[in-house]
Amino acid sequence: MRYFSVDSLNFDESGMWSGEYRARHRWHLPGVECPRCGTWSGSGAYPSVDLSSLSEPALDEVRGPTNFEEYMRLVALVRPLLPADVPVKGGTSFGPMRGTAQGRFGPVTCYPPWELVLREDVVELLKSKGLQGIIAVRMELRSRRSTMPALYEVEARPLAKLHTDCIGEFKTPPCSVCGRPESYFLPPKRWLLRSAVPEGLDVFGIAGARLRVVSERFVETVQRLGPSDVHYQELPVG
Ligand SMILES: [Zn+2]
């Protein structure tokens, strides 16, 4: 199986789709003032994770980094509701996106550039073709156009790894005090670590980096619904 990362168009390329949305996830874990590794906040989202049972007002708003004790209290609340195989990290959002949308959306949208959004007919096609690991969460978007198709945010869980030989020295090490996972700047030339490719999945993310990876089967399937304003860049496996 070949794999590709999905990226938005470059800033100087004009796309064919006008769709835009303004939306936020339902819950947010703040960053932390860690006594060992300093003040930091990451990013990313698990839209499929429902934190409504916690009824915790501190998770309702987007806030700056919080003190260490408060952060660890919130992590202890959130951790049991996350899938066991993903890290919990300050700056992460949860639950469906809610907001407004306008314009026309192509089959696949990377807007903002770090998001992966699918039109409803794409989600249905991927599922009908038996693709695996498609976690697509319906976005709660209001639009003036009554015919606007529903949009789904893809949750790309960081299950794969890049090969250590391509990451280089620009790494932030993990922290055992606050639980911060290792992270790094994306190297321009990159490839997947063969032993860490999640077998059989058609969508996944990468530990430590904000990269959405899709399979060759995913690319071939969505292209049947016409062009999208995205680039696919092959990620070799080595
Ligand atoms: Zn720390």
What's the 40 CA to ligand 1 centre distance in angstroms? 8
Average pLDDT over residues 117-122: 98
Among candidates 92, 133, 113, 86, which has minimal Cα distance to 186? 113
- Paired with 184 in beta bridges are 171
What's the 175 CA to ligand 1 centre distance in angstroms? 5
pLDDT band of residue 111 (cuts 50, 70, 90) is confident
pLDDT tens digits, residue range 50-93?
999 999 999 999 999 999 999 999 999 999 999 998 999 999 99
What's the 129 CA to ligand 1 centre distance in angstroms? 43
Share of residues in the chain with pLDDT > 70 (%): 100
CA–CA gap between residue 197 and residue 133 (Å, rounded): 13
What's the 208 CA to ligand 1 centre distance in angstroms? 15
What's the 173 CA to ligand 1 centre distance in angstroms? 10
What's the 174 CA to ligand 1 centre distance in angstroms? 8
pLDDT tens digits, residue range 14-59?
999 999 999 999 999 999 999 999 999 998 999 999 999 999 999 9
Model confidence at 169: pLDDT above 80: no
> Which pLDDT value is given to residue 146?
79
What's the 96 CA to ligand 1 centre distance in angstroms? 28
> Which pLDDT value is given to residue 171?
86
What's the 38 CA to ligand 1 centre distance in angstroms? 6
